[in-house]
Amino acid sequence: PVLRYLPSRTMELFKDINRRFSFFVQKIVQEHYTSFDKEHIRDITDSLIEHCKEKSVGEDAHVPLSNEKIINIVNDLFGAGFDTVATALSWSLMYVALYPDIQKKIQEELDQTIGRERRPRLSDRGTLPYTEAFILEMFRHSSFLPFTIPHSTTKATVLNGFYIPKDTCVFINQWQVNHDEKLWKDPSTFNPERFLNATGTEISRTESDKMMVFGLGKRRCIGESIGRWEIFLFLATMLQQLEFSLRPGEEVDITPQYGLTMKYKKCECFQIKKRFPMKNS
């Protein structure tokens, strides 16, 4: 706890981003309140406002869903929904451009398993172990969600000998877990094979279960499954059709930039070309 009193540029930046994002969400919710029309529900924010005005929560009919709770719900939905998949795909494309041999292995697997006559489907995921291993390594190495969203203890507890009072704000440091030398061999090296079994034909559950990006326990991200499916389908489709590279001789800085998720600096030297002509049918 004493660390919170020490100066930290990263922590101050993190707090500032959270403050600005919270203000942004409050403004959106207020605009929805101003223009709300119960006969024309436009989105989930309107639905929450309708619930606030007409419904009750729990057994007490006099306890409406508060404005603060609506803001918190919308905040969570924004943070969890709109940025995560896009950031994951952005890191994926950077890694395949940085490591063309890895990109080639993924494309060979796609060609051998799916071919070039049809596009990848969700049902193909279990038959593409190297592609899945790449996605897991992208999650681990980038750790673009370095911390879980904040939670609060509902009662005092002791964890590994540390006393944690009730109502303490807690995070999971996912970046540390994903780069812990006690858990991973050469954690700074990007190596999808670490997630494959000895024969390279299946994902190693022992290794994949160590990787953390969607939180832990009962409060882990409820969108984990759909997020994984979306990333797989978009990435497999792009790599089946396209080849990604970087302009020769140009340095690329992938130092993470802090935000809701960690991204690398805008890269102007991506090169993309079609692998083969695709039929429309």
Residue 135 three-state SS: helix
Are the C-beta atoms of 211 and 178 separated by less than 8 Å? yes
Residue the block writes with tokens 């041999």: 101
Q: Which residues contact 206 (CB under 8 A, 6 or more apart)?
A: none
Nearest Cα residue to 209 out of 192, 191, 195 = 195
Q: Helix, strand, or coil here: 87? A: helix
What's the DSSP call for residue 65?
P
Question: 10: closest CA among 264, 263, 257?
Answer: 257
Asked if residue 221 belongs to a known ligand binding site, the reply is yes
- The answer for residues whose C-beta is within 8 angstroms of residue 124's C-beta and 6 or more apart is 113, 114, 236
Question: Which amino acid is present at 18?
Answer: N
From the list 81, 240, 211, the residue with the least C-alpha distance to 133 is: 211
Task: Determine contact, residues 278/268, Cβ cutoff 8 Å.
Answer: no
- Known binding residues are 221
- Known binding residues for heme are 221
